[in-house]
Every structure is written in structure tokens, then in C-alpha cells.
């Protein structure tokens, strides 16, 4: 199959440092190549891939100080992608809704994976206007605010099985990995560690928009003796950081679309204590990969229990549910149904879903909970 993968340009594929979506695009692209498909990756020129790379900017935009308008570069990339549509059997875009206008006029099967939160009220009119465009979610919870969208599947993220080494022995510190922002709950992590008398290591990126929040509210907390702030770390450091931790704290306060760091920790055998928000109950298995909690008191108690969980069982849960080959095969199932729907002459009724303003009945829905894909 000739497949186009269209990545955001903010980070390289894979990213040098922080970058969730671009990492997933990398894992998916390489897994599809492993399966023998002809993959073309549209990304920044500093990306590294075994697919055919189409460089759309010289370097990742976040690290390019000369970039003032990243949207302009993304629109230029989409113009190139859709002008070359006839070269592909399927076009898979990872830019949320940015491709919708061009996709509507494309005769080649296409799908857009939503990687961001969708509970923003401004998205309602947009998704109603483009209710015919096929979209994929990364969790069932992510779909909830937009039930009328043309959902053609839920595909959970996956990692290469050899990306992180299993660490059978628990470390002596708690870990937090992500962004420094109010919704990520770094302050909760500090409080949990304080109550348990355990060291906390924080590896986190600070965006410009969160700089004031960091300076005013978090920096004083990071001065406490048991807290070590490492800043942003890259892929090379991540395995050791997560694998040597006793547990990962995921104390979020927002509707998380997926939570990639949770499965990264599981891959190392490190249990996770996560607040019940967004996709967390879908990704976690309570008592196996860690614990799902509702309160700070519950998180403190659960973290103490998580330290006793068998790390081998945590790793096994990851292997069975969140591998990159599983993710690639789930997306291939979506692509194949896109192609079949196109052959039936439904250019915007890709996987049996119809726009909200038609009377044509939907096809039946099948769900494979074990593989992580929901095919509507």
C-alpha cells in the first residue's frame, strides 16, 4: 500500500526532545515500513526515517528561531501533499483539523487522527461544517465532545517493543515527565512525594506561555529538598529516567486525549498512578499497570501500594496492548476500509459513517477491545 504520513512540523520525526505527536508518527511510519508498505513521510528535513522523506521545512519549527508563523509552513505542506494525492492509496494526516478544507475535495482516501483535546467549544461549529471528513481518535474519551463527527475508529498509541528496556527492580524516587503547565498537575506530584517522604524527579518542558506559571507557582516548590527539577530531557535519557523510578505520577487535571508517558513507563515495568481524567481509565488497568485515583489522598495511598506491584506484570500489560506493530495493524484496518468505501463510490462516507444531514443508515459497529482499535 502507498501511504502518505503527514506530520506536524513543530518537532522532527522523531523529536530531538519533547514531542508526543511526532514520536507517534515516527513509530507508526517505521512499523508500516517493517510491514512492507511504501510509506512517504512529510515532515521537517531533520527527521530520520526509513520511509521516503519529503522535507517541508529545513528544521523543526520549535527549534528554529527564525520561524514567526508556523501555520504558514503547515499550509504550504498540505498544499504539496494534496497536489500529489494521486501518488498514494491513502493519505493519513496528523495535524488535527488543519487538513479539512483540502481533504474535502480530495478523491484519494484520507483520514485525520485527532491528537489534541476536543472539548473546546470553538471546535463545535468547525466539526459540524466538516462532519463528512473521516477522523480517528486516540481514545474513546476524546470523541465524547464531538459525537456527530465522522469517527471511523479509535486507535491507541503504541511503542516499539525494544524502545525501552524492562527494569525488574524498582528505584527509590517518584517520577514526573511531561510539560510544566497547570493541567499537568506538577504541584500535585510534589505534594504526593512530600506526604510519602520520597524524592521526586521532574523532567518537564516549559513552554513560553507557561513561563509565568512556573516562576510564580512551581519554582518555589522545586526548591524543596526532595524535589529535583531536570528540565526537558530527550529520548536517550527517558528510558533510564522512567525505568529507574519506583513509580510514575500522572496527576493530571484535564481531559487527557491519551497520555503517552503512561505506556512509556509501563514499557519499563514502572507502575503509574494517574488521576481519572480523559483517557486514563482506558489506558490503565487498575492493580496491574498501577492505579487510577480520584483524589490527592487517594493518590498518596495508591502510590504506596504501587511500589509493591510486580513490574513484570506491568511490562506484560504494555506488550499485549500498546506495541507499535499493533498500532500499525489497527491503522491498516482503517486504511483498508477507507479504500473499500472509496471503491463503493462514497468519497466522504469512508467507513460506513454518514454526514449528520443524510438519511442513509450507518453500517454496523465492531469493536476489538484487545487490539486497541474501534472500527465504526
Nine-digit cell at 282? 482506558
Q: Are the beta carbons of 186 and 212 closer than 8 angstroms?
A: no
Nearest to 88 by CA among 3, 17, 173: 3
Contacts of residue 201, defined as CB under 8 A and 6 or more positions apart, other chains included, come to 173, 174, 175, 176, 228, 230, 241, 245
The domain defined by 2-160+325-375 folds into: Rossmann fold (3.40.50)
The Cα diameter of the chain in Å comes to 65
Q: Which DSSP string do the residues of 270-308 spell out, in sequence order?
A: --EEEES-TTHHHH--BTTTEEEESSHHHHHHHHHHHTT
Count the Cβ atoms, other than its own, within 10 Å of residue 52. Answer: 13
Q: Which CATH number fits domain 174-321: 3.40.50.720, 3.90.120.10, 3.40.50.620, 3.40.50.2000?
A: 3.40.50.2000
Contacts of residue 100, defined as CB under 8 A and 6 or more positions apart, other chains included, come to 112, 126, 130, 133
Segment 77-104, tens digit of pLDDT: 999 999 999 999 999 999 999 999 999 9
Report the pLDDT averaged over residues 340-367. Answer: 47
Nearest to 294 by CA among 157, 374, 136, 188: 188
Residue 376 is predicted with a pLDDT of: 35
Residues forming CATH 3.40.50.2000 domain(s) in the chain = 2-160+325-375, 174-321
- Provide the phi-psi class of 178: left if phi over 0, else alpha when psi is between -120 and 50, else beta: left
Segment 191-240, tens digit of pLDDT: 999 999 999 999 988 877 878 888 887 778 777 778 999 988 878 899 99
| pTM attached to this predicted model | 0.88
Q: What are the residues facing 291 on neighbouring strands?
A: 273
CA atoms within 13 A on the CB side of 210: 16
CA atoms within 13 A on the CB side of 335: 20
Lateral strand order in the sheet of 227-231: 227-231, 200-205, 174-179, 247-250, 272-275, 290-293
Q: Is the pLDDT of residue 164 over 70?
A: yes
Confidence bin at 350 (pLDDT 50/70/90): very low
Report the pLDDT averaged over residues 56-62. Answer: 94
Residue 344 is predicted with a pLDDT of: 64
Q: Are strands 90-93 and 52-55 parallel, antiparallel or unpaired?
A: unpaired
Residue 265 is predicted with a pLDDT of: 97
Residue 345 is predicted with a pLDDT of: 54
Amino acid at each position: 500500500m502507498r501511504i502518505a504520513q503527514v506530520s506536524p512540523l513543530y518537532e522532527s520525526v522523531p523529536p530531538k526532545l519533547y514531542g508526543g505527536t511526532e514520536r507517534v508518527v515516527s513509530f507508526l511510519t517505521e512499523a508500516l515500513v517493517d510491514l512492507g508498505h511504501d510509506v512517504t513521510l512529510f515532515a521537517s528535513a531533520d527527521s530520520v526515517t526509513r520511509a521516503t522523506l519529503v522535507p517541508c521545512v529545513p528544521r523543526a519549527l520549535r527549534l528554529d528561531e527564525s520561524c514567526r508563523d508556523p501555520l504558514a509552513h503547515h499550509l504550504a505542506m498540505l498544499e504539496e501533499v494534496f497536489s500529489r494525492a494521486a501518488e498514494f492509496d491513502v493519505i493519513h494526516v496528523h495535524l488535527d483539523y488543519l487538513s479539512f478544507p483540502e481533504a474535502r475535495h480530495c478523491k484519494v482516501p484520507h483520514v485525520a487522527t485527532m491528537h489534541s483535546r476536543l472539548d473546546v467549544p470553538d471546535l463545535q461549529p468547525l466539526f459540524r461544517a466538516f462532519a463528512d471528513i473521516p477522523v480517528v481518535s486516540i481514545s474513546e474519551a476524546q470523541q465524547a465532545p464531538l459525537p456527530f463527527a465522522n469517527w471511523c475508529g479509535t486507535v491507541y498509541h503504541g511503542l516499539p517493543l525494544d524502545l525501552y528496556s524492562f527494569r525488574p527492580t524498582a528505584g527509590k524516587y517518584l517520577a514526573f515527565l511531561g510539560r510544566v503547565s497547570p493541567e499537568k498537575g506538577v504541584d500535585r506530584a510534589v505534594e504526593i512525594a512530600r506526604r510519602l517522604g520520597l524524592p521526586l524527579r521532574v523532567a518537564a518542558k516549559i513552554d513560553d506561555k507557561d513561563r509565568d506559571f512556573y516562576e510564580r507557582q512551581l519554582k518555589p516548590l522545586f526548591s524543596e529538598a526532595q524535589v529535583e527539577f531536570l528540565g526537558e530531557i530527550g529520548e536517550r535519557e527517558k528510558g533510564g529516567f522512567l525505568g529507574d523510578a519506583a513509580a510514575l505520577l500522572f496527576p493530571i487535571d484535564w481531559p487527557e486525549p491519551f497520555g503517552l508517558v503512561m505506556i512509556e513507563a509501563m514499557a519499563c515495568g514502572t507502575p503509574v498512578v494517574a488521576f481519572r481524567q480523559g483517557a486514563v481509565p482506558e489506558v490503565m488497568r487498575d492493580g496491574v499497570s498501577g492505579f487510577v485515583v480520584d483524589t490527592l489522598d487517594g493518590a498518596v495511598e495508591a502510590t504506596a501500594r504501587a511500589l509493591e506491584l510486580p513490574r513484570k506484570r506491568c511490562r506484560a500489560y504494555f506488550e499485549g496492548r500498546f506495541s507499535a506493530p499493533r498500532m500499525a495493524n489497527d491503522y491498516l484496518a482503517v486504511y483498508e476500509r477507507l479504500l473499500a468505501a472509496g471503491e463503493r463510490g462514497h468519497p466522504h462516507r469512508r467507513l460506513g459513517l454518514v454526514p449528520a444531514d443524510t438519511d442513509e443508515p450507518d453500517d454496523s459497529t465492531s469493536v476489538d477491545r484487545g487490539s486497541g482499535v474501534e472500527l465504526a
